[in-house]
Amino acid sequence: MSSSDENGLMADQEWDNAYFSLIIELRTKNSHRYLEQTELLLHKKSIELELSGYSVKYTLDRTGCWFDATNSGKGIGKRSWNRFGWGKKAKRKALPDFFAKTEANILMPEDL
């Protein structure tokens, strides 16, 4: 393996470590807010919020949740969907981690 490949691998590992650490930090720090968002989303099926210049929308469907985030000023958009299962119990369990993951996707720089 060349030194540039090794450096790239180390940079990827550093980014991964920082990303997953941020998810854990957000999940811990915002646990109360995530639980409130979970209940609101389960009730309304769609919620919108602002985060670091992004307009964020979560939309539940029968088996999962859509995440849409746009930053018009930067011309950036992010979209993903996660499967949680059919029941409210499964969604209630999975949504707080999904909120932390999607917020980390917004807050984490592409490179360190």
Nearest residue to 69 (alpha-carbon basis) of 61, 84, 83, 81: 81
pLDDT the model gives residue 79: 94
pLDDT the model gives residue 4: 58
pLDDT the model gives residue 29: 98
Nearest residue to 47 (alpha-carbon basis) of 35, 29, 59, 39: 59
What is the residue-level pLDDT of the chain in tens, covering all 112 positions? Answer: 555 566 666 678 999 999 999 999 999 999 999 999 999 999 999 999 999 999 999 999 999 999 999 998 888 899 999 999 999 999 999 999 999 999 999 999 775 5
In this structure, are residues 34 and 96 in contact, taking their beta carbons and an 8 Å threshold?
A: yes
Angstrom distance (rounded) from CA 36 to CA 95:
11
Query: 64-71 and 46-51: which strand pairing?
Result: unpaired
**What are the boundaries of each domain within the chain?**
3-107
The residue type of 14 is E
Edge-to-edge order in the sheet of strand 64-71:
46-51, 54-60, 64-71, 76-83
pLDDT the model gives residue 1: 53
Characterise 63 by phi-psi region: left (phi > 0), alpha (psi -120 to 50), beta (else). alpha
